[in-house]
Chain A
């Protein structure tokens, strides 16, 4: 029964679109405030200073593209792979920061200095989203997708 539920087209659709919405939502404030996001990236102290700004400009755009692709159902599997890769990167970055006792705002959905700070609940949230990404990679759901809309019909 659980297997049937996991394989259900509607569940796959909700996972795909839900993950896409999260990524789009997460990208918007970072794209609007690149300087503030660059500072947050720098605060993690994981990247050389010269790479911080470039990383802060590209990552939110990658989140946006992956999110839109998942919502629209275009390039679902590659987008889910990128989303999963980013989530693994977030999990590693947050874990390292927590291990070093760095207390900074996480830069997850907002670039505000008073936004959510790092913690284990954040790690759990990232692991949860990683499970959604793995589901999207494995089942490659195209239910109600643009790609299915434009797929050539089979000749009878």
Chain B
């Protein structure tokens, strides 16, 4: 029965014009607009802004660190799975705990609530000044990530 399922599953996929590759990413995923969201306050020299699709790709890169720049209360309610909380408004207090977890050559993706929040941009500039160069701003942020049901951590009593 497993062999029959394998033959039918792989065969129907081969005949399906919307079929997926046997290995790799999934063309049917709807990531939203491919155009990257850039805040009005962005300046030349800022860390690059990335789309949801790019953020999701980097999420699968080993060693990538996601930084959540929102308030601790917002982080506690729900955040991208595995993300560290470095609230920009409290960055001096939180930085000593986060710094040991970040190597200067680490790939870092910073996000905030979404397009209405610029803390990720400010935090990206801050980290650049500290010598971190491999930084990306995912400006679609938590709202865009959550809307696609990508991996999150949400306490049981909040879900």
Instruction: Please indicate which of the listed interface residues A36, A53, A57, A64 has the most CB atoms of chain B within 10 Å of its own CB.
Output: A57
Is B130 in the interface zone, CB < 8 Å from A? no
Docked pose: A93 CA to B24 CA in angstroms:
22
Please tell me if the beta carbons of A119 and B1 are within 8 angstroms of each other in the complex.
no
Given contacts A31-B12, A103-B159, A117-B159, contact A38 B152 (CB under 8 A): no
Q: How many residues of A contact B (CB 8 A)?
A: 40
Label chain A's interface by main secondary structure. helix
* Among A34, A65, A66: residue with most chain B CB under 10 A: A34
Interface size on B (CB < 8 Å)?
36
A113 contacts B149, C-beta separation under 8 Å: yes
Set B24, B153, B155: member contacting A53, Cβ < 8 A: B24
Q: Is the CB of A66 within 8 A of B28?
A: no
**B149-A43 in contact (CB<8A):** yes
Partner of A75, one of B1, B6, B23, B26: B1
Residues of A within 8 A of B23 (CB): 49-50, 53-54
Query: What are 5 contact pairs spanning A and B, CB under 8 A?
Result: A35-B27, A40-B149, A58-B10, A100-B153, A103-B78
Interface positions of A (Cβ within 8 A of B): 31, 33-36, 38-40, 42-43, 45, 49-50, 53-54, 56-62, 64-66, 69, 75, 78-79, 82, 100-105, 113-114, 117, 119
